[in-house]
Chain A
Amino acid sequence: MSSNVGSAKKDKLVGDLIVNVALGLLVLLWTIPTIGLLVSSFRDQFDIATTGWWSIFPHREWVTTETIDPPEVERDQPIEVKGVSATFDELRDGVQSGNTRLVWIGNRRLGTIQVQEQEWTMNLDFTLENYQNVLTGKRYEVTQPDGSVKVEQGTDMSNAFLNSIAVSIPATVIPILIAAFAAYGFAWMRFPGRRMFFIMVVALLVVPLQIALVPILRDYVRLDLNGTFLAVWLAHAGFGLPLAVYLLYNYMSTLPRDILESAFIDGASHFTIFTRLILPLSMPALASFAIFQFLWVWNDYLVALIFIGATADTQVLTMRIAELVGSRGNDWHLLTAGAFISMVLPLVVFFSLQRFFVRGMLAGSVKG
């Protein structure tokens, strides 16, 4: 009996171990890419280009312990150094003997030989310079190969960051407000066309926004709206509305009917009931959709690309970063910091309001 209990306990322990190890591996796999970016964003431009970000972990690496001048012998003959005889070409590739390695640094005539040993090292030089460059657009001087000095303007992202805020907040609140009014109307008012309009909302839930880009762009050009905040807000409102109306309707239609009826008897109008009673009661649903929409707008690239386009004044973060990827694919140091700055706000919103976000997703998909 007791041995039975013991083995059951042991089985459970082993099971727990397997579960946690498997889970840990998956989580590791899922976080490594982001960790790589975070670490890289704090590394110096030169470090990023020459060593992997994983070199911050302890690893064995060849470290120069001594630099010696080569003996004066003909270069096309084997050279004797430190008891090793090797040709120039071999030395240039590095000659290993036991625990040390000899490497020729420089050209055939002039040069030195480095004696290297394998040692445990960590590459822990971190800097905030990338962030400074990206945020303030600091000017920095680059000495060209021909000796001239070129001044380069760093990529300033603070403007794009502010633009992203100016786009995201109204583009989150406006569709919620419009959808809340509509959801109340659908849930608590009787009017001709009610069913037809709501069917339209449901049908539009899955329509890809690509379908709308071209005609809307033409309207905007005609109205001279292209590149303005209003244009982007309205576009995001339009594309977010079906889900917003649908979610908020689902929520509001489950609110108890008696509350409304007693308010009506007290002589309150629809508008008063909506603003004083229904909006506060619907806060959980409003919050969960707000997070959804905020993340979607903040992270959006396509809508901004088309309706802001070439207007440099109102460019948002995702556009700036995509531009960096394209035009300066090798400026890794700017890309890392820029990308991380663009993630800070959504990650903060996400982690602090995760509960609402999850609730919104559940309401949106599981119910349907």
Chain B
Amino acid sequence: MQGSEVKPRSTSPLDWLTGTVGQIIISLFVPILTFIVLWQGFIFLRDSNAPKIIIVLVAIIWGVGGVAVLYTVSNWLIEKLPPFWVRSLQPFVFVGPAVAILAWYLLFPSARTFWISMYGSNSTDFVGLQNYAAVFTDRTMFTAFRNNVLWILFGATFSVIFGLLVAVLADRSKFENAAKSLVFMPMAISMVGAGVIWNFIYEADPNIGLLNAIWTTLGGTPQAWTSLLQPWNNFFLIVIVIWLQTGFAMVLFSAAIKGIPGEILEASRVDGATELQVFFRIMIPYIMPTIITVSTTVIIFTLKIFDIVWVMTGGQFGTQVIATQFYREYFTNRNFGYGSAIAIVLLLAVVPVMIYNLKQFGEREAF
């Protein structure tokens, strides 16, 4: 423990031997014990028939505690080494697990998925880029691409517009906090839950679906908004994501608007600018960086959209998007190569944003 001061204390070789051997035994014993305890926990969770509550409690303690114990034990082991080794190895105890998990869960899979995409439906015969040729010529995929463009174009645009609108209005209202909370609330709701909620709007039966109730009161006949009304049904699905994402945009815009120096707004108003001029000539340019950030975030989100479509229509009736086609091809049709090719196309679509992020990062001083 005390480094160099230890030496004079123990003179007998026997003492030294028992001391070192004891250290080694403990160093071996602790990791082995840790491993056994964690393994037993895993077996218990997998096979036990205990009441659900107990399983849940054990799972939480085992999962959270296990990770903490692993860090503590591996750090404890490293710190037993001479100072030089501590200095060079300890960073990897801290950073290593994160890097390993990132590599296993995101980095390597990108390459592996690409590899699978070069093979046929059951991953045995090499077909080169044929799957990609198929992806870009298939009519179903063409509709999926078109729909994704619609999602990005309308979903992202209206989320940003409504978010900005609510943020600006709330900023001048006495009920700011209440209004913002309510608009923000859908962010806490799962897309599956949102699907159920919106079924009560879109249901074809006018006694259940609000939209049809209004429509029939106005003299129309009940419509199956999300299925038969192609291709407009996509827009009814997009409305749901606007409903979900506006809160996100609003919060960021609201913070940005509050960051505009009051003097600038004051000065422009004194100079006789109308409210619209203040909005378009001063606010919008001032919060432009936020608008760009929000837009990219929402665009990436809508690009990956899956749950809403899957729960509302199952990707049928011409509402399929890239992510639902990926799921259908890979998990329903078990067409592994083709499904993987779709996933790679999705990855390629975010590459511009990735490059932009890396560029931004490169400009930072810290690294």
Contact A169 B252 (CB under 8 A): no
* Candidates A34, A177, A199, A332; contact of B71 at CB < 8 Å: A177
B116 CB contact (under 8 Å) in A201, A215, A242: A215
Surface stretch bound by B, among A91-99, A140-148, A281-289, A354-362? A354-362
> Cα distance A33–B343 when bound, in Å?
33
User: Residue of A at shortest CB range from B172?
Assistant: A19
Given contacts A34-B189, A349-B188, whether A233 and B63 have CB atoms under 8 Å apart is: yes
In the bound complex, do residue B110 and residue A365 qualify as a contact, i.e. CB atoms below 8 Å apart?
no
Assess whether B25 is interfacial by the CB under 8 Å rule.
Answer: no
Chain B, 257-281, contact with A by CB distance < 8 Å: what is the 0/1 string? Answer: 0000000000000000001000000
Q: Taking chain B's interface residues, is the majority helix, strand, or loop, or is none over half, making it mixed?
A: helix
Tell me which of B104, B311, B367 contacts A322 (CB under 8 A).
Answer: B311
Tell me the bound Cα distance from A165 to B63 in angstroms: 12
Q: 18 A-B residue contacts at CB 8 Å?
A: A19-B169, A37-B197, A52-B210, A165-B60, A166-B55, A173-B63, A197-B95, A199-B358, A202-B357, A206-B354, A208-B347, A215-B113, A228-B46, A270-B90, A339-B197, A343-B189, A347-B185, A362-B251
User: Is there contact, CB below 8 Å, between A23 and B175?
Assistant: yes
- Which one, A19, A31, A179, A343, contacts B98 given CB within 8 A? A179
In the complex the two chains form, is B173's CB within 8 Å of A210's CB?
no
Is A290 an interface residue, CB under 8 A from the partner?
no
In the complex, A214 has a CB within 8 A of chain B: yes
- Give B173 Cβ to nearest chain A Cβ, in Å: 5
Tell me the residues in window 155-174 of chain A with beta carbons closer than 8 Å to chain B beta carbons. Answer: 158-159, 162-163, 165-166, 169-170, 173-174
Structural contact, A242 and B102, CB atoms closer than 8 A: yes
Q: B350, A206: Cβ atoms under 8 Å?
A: yes
Chain A interface size, as a band, is 35 or more
Question: Is B183 engaged at the interface, CB distance under 8 Å to the other chain?
Answer: yes
Q: Which of A61-69, A74-82, A129-137, A185-193 lies at the interface with chain B? A: A185-193
The reply to whether B200 and A181 form a contact with Cβ atoms under 8 Å apart is: no
**In-complex Cβ contact of B63 among A170, A202, A300, A325 (8 A):** A170
Bound state CA distance, A238 and B104, in angstroms? 8
Contacts of A40 in B (CB 8 A): 200
Compute how far the CA of A210 lies from the CA of B325 in the bound complex, rounded to whole angstroms: 11
Cβ A365 vs Cβ B99 within 8 A? no
Query: Do the beta carbons of B347 and A346 come within 8 Å of each other?
Result: no
Question: Which residues of chain A are near B360, meaning CB under 8 Å?
Answer: 368
Report the bound CA distance from A234 to B104 in whole Å.
10
CA distance A19 to B176 in the complex (A): 11
* Residue in A26, A30, A301, A306 whose CB lies within 8 Å of B190: A301
CA–CA, A15 to B55, complex, Å? 58
Chain B residues in 8 Å Cβ range of A204: 102, 106-107
A195 at the A/B interface (Cβ < 8 Å)?
A: yes
A: residues with CB less than 8 A from B are 15-16, 19-20, 22-24, 26-27, 30-34, 36-37, 40, 48-54, 158-159, 162-163, 165-166, 169-170, 173-174, 177-179, 181-182, 184-186, 189-191, 194-195, 197-216, 219, 228-230, 233-235, 237-239, 241-242, 245, 253, 269-271, 274, 295, 298-302, 306, 318, 321-322, 325-326, 332, 335-336, 338-339, 342-343, 346-347, 349-351, 354, 358, 361-362, 365-366, 368
A207 neighbours in B (Cβ, 8 Å): 106, 110, 347, 350, 354
By secondary structure, the A interface counts as helix
Interface segment, one of B8-16, B26-34, B131-139, B300-308: B300-308
In the complex, whether B149 has a CB less than 8 A from a CB of chain A is: no
Who on chain B is nearest to A18 by CB?
B169
Please name all residues of chain A whose beta carbon is closer than 8 Å to the beta carbon of B256 when the two chains form the complex. Answer: 366
Q: How large is the interface on B (under 10, 10 to 19, 20 to 34, 35 or more residues)?
A: 35 or more
From B166, B207, B326, contact of A26 by CB (8 A)? B166
Of B150-158, B228-236, B290-298, the segment with at least 4 beta carbons within 8 Å of chain A is B290-298
Query: From residue B258, how far is it (CB to closest CB) to chain A in Å?
Result: 11
B6 at the A/B interface (Cβ < 8 Å)?
no
- Closest A residue to B360 by CB, please name it: A368
Contact among A173, A186, A228, A318 with B192 in the assembled complex (CB-CB below 8 Å): A318
Contact A49 B166 (CB under 8 A): no
Which residues of B have CB within 8 Å of A358? 251, 255
Q: Is the CB of B190 within 8 A of A298?
A: yes
- B108 lies within 8 A of chain A by Cβ: yes
Q: A34-B185, A216-B109, A321-B192 are in contact. Are A23 and B169 (CB under 8 A)?
A: yes
Contacts of A189 in B (CB 8 A): 90-91, 94-95
Residue of chain B at shortest CB distance from A30? B183
Per-residue CB contact flags for chain B residues 57-100 toward chain A (1 = under 8 Å, else 0) read 00110011001100110010001000000001011111101110
Q: How far is the CB of A10 from chain B (nearest CB, A)?
A: 16
B289 → A minimal CB distance (Å): 8
The reply to whether A182 and B190 form a contact with Cβ atoms under 8 Å apart is no
Given A36-B197, A365-B297: A52 in contact with B95 (beta carbons within 8 A): no
Interfacial chain B residues near A237, Cβ < 8 Å: 101, 105
Indicate if B191 sits at the interface (CB-CB under 8 A).
Answer: yes
> CB-CB < 8 A to A19: which residues of B?
169, 172-173
Known: A205-B354, A206-B353. 4 other contacts (CB 8 A): A16-B172, A165-B60, A178-B97, A190-B91
